[in-house]
Amino acid sequence: MESLIQLRKSLDEKKISVRELTKQYLDRINHYTGNAYVSVTEETAFKNAEIAQKLIDTGNATALTGIPCSVKDNICVAGIKATSGSKMLEDFIPFYDAKVIRDLAAQGYVLTGKTNMDEFAMGNSNRTSVFGNASNPHDVMRVPGGSSGGSAAAVAADLCAYSIGTDTGGSIRQPASHCGVVGLKPTYESISRHGIVAFAGSFDTVGPIAKTSEDCAVIMESLCEGKDFTSKLGRDIKGVKIALIKELFTDSVDTNVKTAVMDKVEFLKSHGAEIIEASMPVLEYAAPAYFVLASAEGASALSKFDGVKYGLKGEGASYDEQLRDSRTRGLGDEVKRRIMLGNFVLSGDNMNDYFRKALAVKQRVIREYNDVFSKADAIISPTSMRTAFSLDEPSDFVKIYSSTLYTVPANLAGLPCVSTPCNISRDFDKQNMPAGLSVTGKKFDEATILQIADFIERGAR
């Protein structure tokens, strides 16, 4: 399994043509049965490959030129279905490119397809997709995580060198953790949300899932002109101050996950990192506050799906009947649940009782993060309290919602956070599902968190 950096070298040294490389990836995709993709864009991929090859041949290649990738199905690519994992948009073909697609195309990317996801990015197991779940490449009977489950699985199964996903409450990091790959949620709004099917605009963040932190850094630097993501890669971490938040290491965290994370903390400490204990009492309210805010925004954002302009057309004699039919048949249970929750917290007095209180929690989260970052350069925590669970595990919503505690704080505060595998070594045992370690940093300080994650990955190699 080659990293983006390695592929770049092979392409630049003409060891392989873009077309050959693309074909290799497409062959793997076509033989793969894990449902990671909802659309495979073979024709587009070969067209892209031709353009990319020209860029390479004329000496105009950049970091991403000719590298096969995939994008999550809530990202609009002109002429290619963008279903968002929903029956509502099963046949929706946007006629416009998302900003991130325009930027990728400008560099000569190669699009292999659109990846599976939880419906409208609402879910953490990829099981709410109307196309059925993607499976975890490490164990097909387990979930890949979500909502960017297809993207994480595709990278883990080497169906693409990297994938572009979205993270509203952990949707990049949690599946990356479950699939043993690296997922970066950059600082909120680092990459434009234009052309992303909205879930919750205050939190929706576009970011990469890749094989290494170094790859993530290179992708980000390609997409965010003039910003630094790579300068600290490979530097030693002596004197880097890392905080451990006590509320994120409680007994709820699976012992094996906790041990794996603490092993890496010890590793960093042994290389001179300074470990600081800290506390963020507000985290008790982080998950409920996130669900109040994100569901409210989601309920509003998804209201435009009425079957009038596009999407599943409803049957009925009046607009109201058609609307009801379109949304009854077009939207899945989890999405409906969140729409109801979102509308509930905004209705009448609930606005004060829930929504405003949740906003206050969000402000408090930001303050407590600021306190921690006045003493530390980064925070380390588990990405998820456990490894990928079984596909047939029943959905216990309160449990699922509260399990987002490990990822949503970074979304509430808009901070960058990278998840890197912490229990994969050369002798990785398939019985042992991957666990992820999260490094959270100050706003726009991706360089430091990528340095730390990269240091851990180098140590494991």
Partner 1 sequence: MKLYPTIGLETHAELMTESKLFCSCSARFGGGENEHCCIGCSGFPGALPALNKKALELIVRAGFSFNCEIARFTKWERKNYFYPDLPAAYQVSQMERPVCAGGFLEINVSGEKKTIRLNRIHLEEDAGKLTHEGNRSFADYNRTGVPLIEIVTEPDFHSADEVVAYVEKLRQILQYADICDGKMEQGSLRCDVNISLATIENTQAGKLGVRTEIKNLNSIKAIGRAIQAETERQTDIIESGGTVVQQTLRFNDANGEITPMRNKENAHDYRYFPDPDIPPVVLTEEELKSFKAALPELPEVRMSRYTAEFGLSPNDAAIILGDKNVSDFYDDTVKIYNSPKTLAGFIIVELLRRVNLGEANMKSLSFTADDFAELQRFVDEGKVNRDIRKDILRDMLESGKSPVQICDEKNLWIKEDAGAVEAVIDKIMAANPAAVEQYKNGEIKVFGFLMGQANKELKGSAAPATVKNMLEQKLKKA
Closest CA relative to residue 168, chosen from 192, 204, 193 = 204
3-state secondary structure of 334: helix
Q: Please tell me whether residue 80 adopts helix, strand or coil conformation.
A: strand
Catalytic residue among 70, 86, 129, 147: 147
Name the one range near partner 1 by CB under 8 A: 50-58, 137-145, 192-200, 271-279. Answer: 192-200
Task: Give the count of beta carbons closer than 10 Å to the beta carbon of residue 193.
Answer: 18
Return the number of the residue (117 or 182) whose C-beta is nearest partner 1: 117
Q: Which of 6, 256, 300, 432 binds partner 1 (CB under 8 A)?
A: 300
β-pairing verdict for 205-210 and 162-167: antiparallel
Q: Which of 238, 348, 374, 427 binds partner 1 (CB under 8 A)?
A: 348
Alpha-carbon Rg for the chain, nearest whole angstrom, is 21
Q: Print burial letters for 200-219: b (CB count within 10 Å at least 16), e (below 16).
A: beebbbbbbbbbbbbbbbbb
Q: Which of 25, 32, 92, 291 binds partner 1 (CB under 8 A)?
A: 92
Residue 147 is among the residues annotated as catalytic for this protein: yes
**Binding residue (CB under 8 A) for partner 1 from 103, 214, 306, 377:** 306
Of residues 171, 190, 295, 438, which has the active-site annotation? Answer: 171
Is position 409 an interface residue for partner 1 (rule: CB under 8 A)? no
Instruction: For residues 118 and 175, give the distance between their C-alpha atoms in angstroms, rounded to a whole number.
Output: 11
**Could you say which of 4, 64, 98, 287 contacts partner 1 (CB under 8 A)?**
98
Rule CB under 8 A: say whether 349 interacts with partner 1: no
Question: Cβ of residue 110: shortest distance to partner 1, in angstroms?
Answer: 22
In degrees and rounded to multiples of 5, residue 161 shows phi and psi of: -75, -35
Both tokens assigned to 136: 């975890």
Three-state secondary-structure class, residue 206:
strand
Among 1, 106, 141, 308, binds partner 1 (CB under 8 A): 308
Q: Does 192 bind partner 1 (CB under 8 A)?
A: yes
Q: How far is the CB of 171 from partner 1 (least distance, A)?
A: 16
Beta strand segments in 334-458, E = 378-382, 417-421, 436-441
Q: Which residues pair with 114 in a beta bridge?
A: 39, 71
Chain positions contacting partner 1, by CB under 8 A? 76, 82, 84, 89, 92, 94, 96, 98, 192-198, 200-202, 296-297, 299-300, 303-304, 306, 308-310, 319-320, 323, 343, 346-348, 351, 355
